[in-house]
Amino acid sequence: MKSYGKIHPIALAATTLGPIVTFLGYTIGALAWPGFDGVVHTISDLAADDSPVQLGVSLVFLFGALCDFLVAIFARALPMKARVVVFIAGLATIGLTVFATPSQDGHSIPHRIFAIISFALFSIWPLFAIRRDPEAPPLLRVRPAIWFTVFLVCVSVWFLSLWTDKTTNIMGLGERIGVGVQGLVPIIVLWHTWLFQRKQSK
């Protein structure tokens, strides 16, 4: 069996805490803003320049990016190209934070570009994590990686359909589901890989 790098505990902590802190952050932010409807309005609205909770939600975004960097550095069982994709996605998160939406009624082209890059990369990263060795960690093999990617892309396309539909009133909910799914898949992959490697080393 080939020897791969390990999933460091720092990567496990980062991949777990990132989505949890992000979820709590934008949920608390929405509750702290009277009248804000998270089903209708996006997470980006919480970090817009005219948002009363902009600072807190922006810090949550930056924490998520930090977790992405830690995963990219310490999830050494993943191929380097997958770790690079995760790192770039983290940079995109910083970009969408810096180039915030100016108001609830306005939009920022740089913000949208960085948001699209982030969403796209977090949808396709499992393809870059494929290891073709039949004895590789199970969730890094071809078939599981493809299924994870198909699932993530389908959710992303669904959210994109909401984003482009001017009549929808659940875009905020769609985004939260998409972000939640994108956070859940790395948790599953990294923890499963860590447990598999731990079992193999005994």
Render pLDDT for 150-180 as a digit per residue (tens, 0 to 9). 999 999 999 988 888 888 889 999 999 999 9
Calculate the average pLDDT of the chain: 93
The one-letter amino acid at 157:
V
Residue type present at position 141: R
* Contact yes or no for 190/12 (Cβ under 8 A): yes
The least confident of 1-5, 14-18, 87-91 is 1-5
Whether 140 is covered by a domain: the verdict is yes
Q: Could you give the CA distance from residue 85 to residue 87 in angstroms, rounded to a whole number?
A: 5
Answer yes or no: is 91 within a domain.
yes
Domain extent at residue 145:
9-194
In a domain, 161, yes or no: yes
List residues bridging with 75 in a β-sheet: 7
* Domains of the chain: total: 1
> Residue 201 domain-assigned?
no
Task: Round to whole Å and give the CA distance between 175 and 39.
Answer: 9
Confidence label for 74 from pLDDT (cuts 50, 70 and 90):
very high
Average pLDDT over residues 21-25: 95
Residue 1: per-residue pLDDT: 47
CB 54 within 8 A of CB 111: no
Residue-level pLDDT at 104: 80
Domain-embedded: residue 199? no
What token pair was written down for 130? 């494929």
State yes or no: pLDDT of 3 exceeds 80.
no
What pTM did the predictor assign? Answer: 0.93
For residue 120, tell me if it sits in a domain: yes
127 pLDDT higher than 90: yes
